[in-house]
A and B are shown apart, each in its own frame.
Chain A
Amino acid sequence: MLQERQIMRIHYITGLAALFVVAVHILMRLIVPYHTSLQFSNVIANYHNFSYAVLLESILVLLAIHGFNGLRVILLELRQKSSWENGVTIFTIVAMIAIIAFGTRTIIVANGLGVG
């Protein structure tokens, strides 16, 4: 298993990396007028761009890890008991996998590969 200091290092790295990729994601909404950028055809065109799809997947993975590890840290600060800690760790890992799976499905289907 990972040591806590290794988990925190991952937490900081995912946070910093997410900052950059989310900035690109937001800028993509600003290169045309914001409300125009949200039209279905424009959004689908973004998803059909493979590089942008990879960017979205990286945002998904980075933020899922950073967010749910943050939740784990908060919950562990509240209570320290072996059963609670194990439960919190399992819950956050399962939630992380679930959100990544759900988001990846959206990216794949919108990209047009037709799976799902």
Chain B
Amino acid sequence: MWASGRKKSFNATATDRSNHEGLKGWLNPARYGWERVAYWLQRLTGLFLLIYFIGHIYETSSLTGGESAWNAMLQFTETLWGHLFLVLVIGTSTYHSINGIRLIFAETGTGLGRPGRPDYPYDALSLNYKQKSGIWVALILAAVAMVYGGNVLFGGG
């Protein structure tokens, strides 16, 4: 009786990709709250820092070419745009580090609170004041580090 009421049998091999956003979905931090924004920034800063790391390894390899090669590299990096880029590196590395520490604690369950039934308006129970504070601390310290770094780079320190 129950089987005859079925109009359509489930096909385990059929794939519905209509909700697959791919890279566009990955790049969109909206819709899911502050934790998603923090996740998005963590990924973006990580990629940026990886690119910087590879460039820095290449940049420092000019040492092996002697003083003239090193000075030529410094001419390229010790410029206004080079310093602004470094200030960005300082900010992204600070955010990535502090948010990463928050994530390590979250992975162990520290600071997430007790699980509960999702009730309207369905706010994430894990996003409590500790997690929000952690995200804000990461952002604020990144800004402070950028100001300090800018002072060292542009202030002749």
Contacts and interface: CB of A to CB of B under 8 A. Distances in A.
Interface of A: 8, 12, 15-16, 19, 22, 30, 33-35, 38, 40, 43-44, 47, 60, 63-64, 67-68, 70-71, 74, 77-79, 99, 102-103, 105-106, 109-110, 116
B63 interface: yes
A88 B99 CA distance: 25
Interface stretch (B5-13, B53-61, B120-128): B53-61
Given A70-B46, A106-B63, A34 B153 contact: yes
A102 to B, nearest CB: 6
Given A68-B50, A99-B57, A35 B63 contact: no
Given A40-B70, A67-B49, A99 B63 contact: no
Given A34-B153, A34-B157, A102-B57, A44 B63 contact: yes
Contacts of B152: 30, 34
**How big is the B interface, by class?**
20 to 34
Q: Is the interface of A mostly helix, strand, loop or mixed?
A: helix
A109 to B, nearest CB: 4
A109 B64 contact: yes
B42 to A, nearest CB: 9
B94 to A, nearest CB: 10
B64 A35 contact: no
A70 B70 CA distance: 31
Contacts of B100: 12, 15
B63 A19 contact: no
B157 A63 contact: no
B129 interface: no
A12 B104 contact: yes
B104 to A, nearest CB: 5
B3 interface: no
Interface in B53-112: 53-54, 57-58, 60-61, 63-64, 67, 70-71, 74, 78, 93, 97, 100-101, 104, 107
B157 A74 contact: no
A47 B26 contact: no
B78 A74 contact: no
Contact of B46 (A16, A64, A74, A109): A74
Most interface-central of B49, B57, B58 (chain A CB within 10 A) = B57
B60 A106 contact: yes
8 contacts: A19-B97, A34-B152, A67-B46, A67-B50, A71-B47, A103-B57, A103-B60, A110-B63
B130 interface: no
